[in-house]
Structure 1
Amino acid sequence: MLTQQEPTPTTPGMTFDQMLERVRYEGAYPTRDRAEDTVRAVLAALGRQITGDERVDLAACLPLEAARAFTSQIPATQPLTGWGFVKDLAARIGGTPATTRWDTGAVLNVVSRLAGPDLVDRILAQLPAGYGLLFGRAELTRAA
């Protein structure tokens, strides 16, 4: 018997609705609207941090609505550390750092699957310390 497989987060051409459902599941959000608000806020904040080819390449990996939220922001002149990113986003959305860290992880985990490991490596190389954990990766530090 043939069954239709549900698209995975790495499926090219993932729709925005599929992305929202994946984030809703990962973040355990009670409604689609809550997941959508979270996706838009996190992607807009991320859009203030990423520049250059990585910005263009990441936008190309995202569903159109997500790419619009991501590219709607002008990159900051001084990128924030990972913790600074979470604190800034918490202040903008009126959340706590703990819940904002959860929200960020739920969204960026899906984004990292859409982008693939090579692009995520390039993005993390561009950003200050602290973003690895937000993208669901171990944060390795170098010995002095």
Structure 2
Amino acid sequence: MNIPLETLLDQVQERGRYTLRQEAAHATEIVLDVLGAHLVGDDRGDLARLLPKQCGPLLTAGEPASEPLTPRGFIEAVAASGHGDFAEARRAVTAVLGIVAETADDALLRRILTQLPPGHAGLFGRMEPI
């Protein structure tokens, strides 16, 4: 069952310390778009089903990335997509991906992390898998 959009945005707003709901929505949109470009197969759809239905296309409709991103590259991609400087983008990434990690079960989160280069677990607020 997916979480309601209002709940997701409330969580992003709180975790990211955003003053406005629109800031949380913008952060969510950009981070999920970048994440979706780096996931393939059923994992994208499985994650989309857990998030609000409005978030599904952000994960599944975009073009796949041409090459994997380092964790720093992931944050830089968010910044380049219009979410401010590196520090602001990192705040957005850790807020949104932290909630993704809490929403997904351990098996799905493990599958997502195996699709990303080493080091991404920290962006999700997790330790690297062994």
Structure 1 length as normaliser, TM-score?
0.83
Match of 1:34 in 2: 23
Q: In the alignment, what sits opposite 1:69?
A: 58
Contact 1:23 1:110 in 2 (8 A): yes
Which protein has the bigger helix share? 2
Q: CA deviation at 1:29?
A: 0.5
Kindly indicate whether the alpha-carbon contact (under 8 Å) linking 2:33 and 2:59 is maintained by their aligned counterparts in 1: yes
Taking the TM superposition and a 5 Å limit, the aligned residue runs for 1:76-95 are 76-93=65-82, 95=84
Report how many residues are paired. 130
Q: Which secondary structure state, in structure 2, belongs to the residue aligned with residue 93 of structure 1?
A: coil
Give structure 1 stretches of 5+ with no counterpart: 1-11
State the SS of the aligned residue for 2:124: coil
Match for 2:14: what amino acid?
Answer: Y
CA–CA distance in 2 between the matches of 1:68 and 1:55? Answer: 10
Task: Kindly indicate whether residue 91 of structure 2 is the aligned counterpart of residue 113 of structure 1.
Answer: no
Question: For the Cα contact (< 8 Å) 1:90–1:96, is it kept in 2?
Answer: yes
CA RMSD of aligned residues (A): 1.5
From the superposition, tell whether residues 13 and 56 of structure 1 become closer, same or farther in structure 2 (CA, over 3 Å): closer
Percent same amino acid among aligned pairs?
38
| Separation of aligned partners in 1, 2:111 and 2:29 | 22
Give the TM-score of the pair, scaled to structure 2: 0.92
